Amino acid sequence: MWRTTYNSKMTFSAISALSPLDGRYAAKLSTLRPLTSELGYMHRRVQVEVAWFIALSDAGFAEFKPLSPGARTYLLGLVKNFSEADGEAIKAIEKTTNHDVKAVEYWIKSKFEARPELEHASEFVHFACTSEDINNTSHALQLRSSRDVVVLPALDKIILKLRDMAHAYADVPMLSRTHGQTASPTTVGKEIANVVVRLQTACERIANIKMLAKMNGAVGNYNAHLSAWPDFDWEAFSKKVIETPEPLGLGLTFQPYSIQIEPHDYMAELFDAVARTNTILIDLSRDIWGYVSLGYFKQKLKDGEVGSSTMPHKVNPIDFENAEGNLGLANAVLRHLSEKLPISRWQRDLTDSTVLRNIGVALGYAVLAYSSLMTGLNKLEINEAAIAEDLDSSWEVLAEPIQTVMRRFGLPQPYEQLKKFTRGAAMTRELMQGFIAGLDLPQSEKDRLLAMTPGSYTGKASELARRV
């Protein structure tokens, strides 16, 4: 067996990345990477430590006087100007500590050198905190930013595109298929409108999830805090730090009850909500793939692009296939996160920490899929001729309105008559109109049915499409 060996010290590049998220598709995830990468995680840890430190200075303790305006500006600058070089410096410290949160603490303290005011107060960095106080708040900040800055805006773009399509194609009649068989007509716009409404509801659920955080010590009881200042209201203080808007606070929602870790139920809710949204988009991707196959949509051509290495004619719906595949990968990780994170052995184990490092992976595959889906939607060109031809060869769908009018006027066995007449038979305009002509109906009703075509039998579809 031949084996290819690569230099383990090779310089990192896109084609040497283990994950396609940081390789082939790296450019498409540039907005997410600063938020969910390890660098982003360290950045948020620094933010939390600084917010806690400044708040402690304002708590009224004789041992820690309020910081000067200059010191506050400097500390907030550590957060605002946090760079990759700062992240590398923290990683260098971690080589000694073998503890990532402690490395952040030591890095912050290193920034106090030659600043007597801060040096004097340095032991109030990470005061009474357990690592999870810093980590859970940091994860909440990461998730909030990822949701608000990347995920929801990407979904909003899809919704806006689909809404435009729903309105543009509101009046384009289309044959429906239930169980893969011809069914009562609709319009292209109405079918797209269905997805718009589903996505709007799904996005509202994502947007309304509160990002919870706790800062209550090693097992959630403020044990260390009260050992230092037993008469101080640490719970109210913690709540204030967590809920005060940025930059002096964290702008999150206070979680009053926890073990060492925040229970992560809100995370499970968020990941489930994103996964459910992704499932809607899988449904859409498969449907559009099918409509492209039927010829209902053409795809805009791109010079130089190849559809098949051997069949020159092919223009494959690859964007919808890419979206479906990546949405599936996203949901696999999201569902593991939602099932795993609310479970902890006793007051703490590290299984949550292990999987939480993959938040960016889960959301990355989702965001990548959203990008592919948008690309595909923007390539679509409706083929009204193909849609009309399909309708015109499916006159059997008028069996429904005919038997419904027959029911209204009390004609015998209307359903059974139409079933016998149409089921399994090739229907034409002439055959359907001949059947109508023989019915004992008022002439005005006959005329109305005779004027009906598969393309006109769409109910309120156009109105419903324009409403979204």
Which among 43, 27, 137 is positioned nearest to 88, based on CA atoms? 43
Report residue 126 CA to chain centroid gap.
33
- The answer to whether 141 and 252 are in contact (CB under 8 A) is yes
Tell me phi and psi for residue 187, to 5 degrees. -125, 155
CB 224 within 8 A of CB 217: yes
Task: Provide the 3-class DSSP secondary structure of residue 254.
Answer: strand
Of all helices (H) and strands (E), which one includes residue 298?
strand 297-299
Catalytic residue status for 308: yes
Q: Could you write out the DSSP letters of every residue in 154-218? A: HHHHHHHHHHHHHHHTTT-EEEEEETTEEEEEEEHHHHHHHHHHHHHHHHHHHHT---EE----S
DSSP conformation class of 316: -
Q: Look at residues 101, 121, 100, 98 and name the one whose alpha carbon lies nearest to residue 111.
A: 121
**DSSP secondary structure, 412-448, as one string:** SSHHHHHHHHHTTS---HHHHHHHHHTS---HHHHHH
User: Which is catalytic among the residues 227, 293, 308, 456?
Assistant: 308
Burial of 160 (0-12, 13-18, 19+ CB in 10 A): exposed
Residue of 13, 30, 179, 309 marked active site? 179
> Residue 264: CA atoms inside 13 Å, Cβ hemisphere, count?
27
Active site residue 120: no
Whole-number Å distance between alpha carbons of 206 and 403: 45
- Provide DSSP, 374-396: HHHHHHEEE-HHHHHHHHHT-GG
Helix axes 38-57, 131-145, angle to 10 degrees: 120
Measured CA to CA, the distance from residue 284 to residue 278 in angstroms comes to 10
Residues carrying an active site annotation: 179, 308
